[in-house]
Amino acid sequence: MARKIGFYGVILYCLYGLLFYWYLFYFADTSLSFEYEGTRADPATFLNGRELMLSEEYSKVRNLLFFLSTPFEWLFYLFILLLGLSNAFKKWAEQSAKYKFVQRAIYLIWLSFFAFIATLPLSYISYSLSKSYNISTQTFGGWMKDELIDFWVNYGTLLIIVTVLYWIINKSRKRWWLYAWLLSIPFTLFMMFLQPVVIDPLYNDFYPLKNKELEAKILALADKAHIPAEHVYEVNMSEKTNALNAYVNGIGSNSRIVLWDTTLNRLDEQEILFIMAHEMGHYVEKHIYFGIAGYLLLSLVGLYITGRMMEIIISRWGKELKVPAVNDIRSLPLLLMIISMLMFISSPLSNFVSRYEEARADHYAIKLTKDTDAAIKTFQELTRAGKSQVNPPLLVKIFRYGHPTMLERISSLEEYGLKNHLKKHE
């Protein structure tokens, strides 16, 4: 039975991969409808022929890698269970230590190491792809360093979560999902508080914005929007990428406005101010807190479904998976596989909400700056720098895009500019 499960798992994964390859390379239509041709949203008006070709090529391969990587993770966890590796990890842990916490730490380091090795080829292909299309500027050593930081940050976080989670499951087999969710609330808020000052600096150097004249204008814009901001930070992303970005993260006293140095180098002052106004829109409309609330609601539903599915799967196929009970640490790969599946399935909903919030932030930014031309040029430059598709395929938009497409963003700005122009001449 275990062989059958593994065989069908591989066959389904291959069929899934072929289906998405056919969809992305042969079926999906990314051309613009006639009403957008010749407008400022038409990439042919701001990209040359080579840039258009490279954007299409890069986007297709990158999107295929995205759709292949998540189900590959499920297949990996399935084979960890079917081949008895989860069982072996537990035995090695029990032979190496007598304390439960140390045993779990050893089990988890083995599982994390195997996951790292299994997923490294796909990660390297993604890195190599971005290098070949001149998006990544990072050396192999720098990329490998970030991968190792990721490994240890994820391991440390997962060790805390797993230790507490299995303690809860052993205390309450029926309601562990509820107690785990209740504990996840302060943990999530604590991690968001730590992110800007502890985790992010592990990857990059952050420092106050060097251009004090620009900082004064950004802070004046923040004051106009009634935002209590004191400092704007820049980060040295040019060592790693040619892409552009800016964001606000953290909560409470640790919240930060951050600009990539690539953004500062590539955009003019008015375009930077538009990006900052967009980020301020998120603050004014409290999107961070709505995002936290949405995440916690989804995680409550997700943990409940995970608990129910684990009971059903272990009762029916526990022997084949070599997992005797939910509260056994050997069930961890199954738990991680189910959570990953649920996150993938729920991503269209979370992306839809995110796109709505991003559109609201765009609307707020243009009302605050009243500079349609700078806003449109910003999105055109973001498209060029990231080699992104202006009009991506529908499934790509649904599963990958937390922002409106560039077609939607630029065309809505053109519409806003036209309405404003007509109002002035009435």
Question: Is the CB of residue 170 less than 8 Å from the CB of residue 327?
Answer: yes
CA angle at 250 for the pair 278 and 404, rounded to the nearest 5°: 35
Predicted confidence at residue 207, as pLDDT, reads 86
Q: Which residue in the block uniquely carries the two structure tokens 């449109």?
A: 376
Mean pLDDT of 185-198: 86
399: tokens are 């599963």
Strand partners, 208: 233
What is the 8-class DSSP label of residue 249?
A: E
CA distance linking residue 341 with residue 316, whole number of Å: 19
Domain count, the chain: 1
Q: 89 lies in a domain? A: yes
Query: Is the model's pLDDT at 299 over the cut of 90?
Result: yes
Of 116, 177, 119, the residue nearest 302 (C-alpha): 177
Of 67, 62, 89, the residue nearest 77 (C-alpha): 89
Q: Average pLDDT, whole number, for the chain?
A: 89
Grade residue 218 by pLDDT with cuts at 50, 70 and 90: confident
CA distance linking residue 413 with residue 378, whole number of Å: 11
Strand partners, 246: 259
Query: Is the model's pLDDT at 48 over the cut of 80?
Result: yes
Kindly name the residue from 234, 279, 328, 371 that is annotated as catalytic.
279
Query: Is the model's pLDDT at 343 over the cut of 80?
Result: yes
245 φ, ψ (degrees, to nearest 5)? -165, 160
Give this prediction's pTM: 0.90
**How close are the terminal C-alpha atoms of the chain, in Å?**
75
What is the 8-class DSSP label of residue 32?
A: P
Predicted confidence at residue 16, as pLDDT, reads 95
Q: 374 lies in a domain? A: yes
Strand partners, 248: 257
282 is in an annotated binding site: yes
Grade residue 9 by pLDDT with cuts at 50, 70 and 90: confident
- Within 10 A of 35 (CB to CB), how many other CB atoms are there? 9
Q: What percent of the chain has pLDDT over 70?
A: 96
Query: Is the model's pLDDT at 335 over the cut of 90?
Result: yes
Q: 79 lies in a domain? A: yes
Q: 294 lies in a domain? A: no
- Within 10 A of 426 (CB to CB), how many other CB atoms are there? 4
| Structural domain containing residue 93 | 2-142+308-424
Which pLDDT tens digit goes with each residue over 75-114?
A: 999 999 999 999 999 999 999 888 889 999 999 999 999 9
Q: 202 lies in a domain? A: no
Query: Is the model's pLDDT at 425 over the cut of 60?
Result: no
Measured in whole angstroms, the distance separating CA 238 from the mean position of its chain's CA atoms is 20
Q: What percent of the chain has pLDDT over 90?
A: 57
Query: Is the model's pLDDT at 421 over the cut of 60?
Result: no
Q: Which residue has the higher pLDDT, 322 or 418?
A: 322
Kindly name the residue from 234, 271, 328, 362 that is annotated as catalytic.
362
Mean pLDDT of 127-131: 93
CA distance linking residue 266 with residue 244, whole number of Å: 8
Grade residue 230 by pLDDT with cuts at 50, 70 and 90: low
Q: 253 lies in a domain? A: no
318: tokens are 């526990």
Predicted confidence at residue 1, as pLDDT, reads 73
358 is in an annotated binding site: yes
239: tokens are 């060592």
Question: Has 279 been annotated as catalytic?
Answer: yes
Which pLDDT tens digit goes with each residue over 345-401?
A: 999 999 999 999 999 999 999 988 888 999 999 999 999 988 889 999 999 999 999
Predicted confidence at residue 349, as pLDDT, reads 94
Mean pLDDT of 196-203: 86
Grade residue 229 by pLDDT with cuts at 50, 70 and 90: low
Mean pLDDT of 335-349: 95
CA distance linking residue 240 with residue 315, whole number of Å: 48
**Positive or negative, the Cα torsion across 39, 43, 47, 53?**
negative
CA distance linking residue 382 with residue 274, whole number of Å: 13
Predicted confidence at residue 228, as pLDDT, reads 66
Grade residue 252 by pLDDT with cuts at 50, 70 and 90: low
200: tokens are 């992010």
Q: 361 lies in a domain? A: yes
Predicted confidence at residue 426, as pLDDT, reads 56
Taking the CA atoms of residue 181, residue 185, residue 191 and residue 196 in that order, the dihedral angle to the nearest 10 degrees is: 140
Question: Is the CB of residue 307 less than 8 Å from the CB of residue 176?
Answer: yes
Which pLDDT tens digit goes with each residue over 140-170?
A: 999 999 999 999 999 999 999 999 999 999 9
58: tokens are 């890069």
User: What DSSP element (H or E) covers 208?
Assistant: strand 206-208
Grade residue 59 by pLDDT with cuts at 50, 70 and 90: very high
Q: 373 lies in a domain? A: yes
Grade residue 424 by pLDDT with cuts at 50, 70 and 90: low
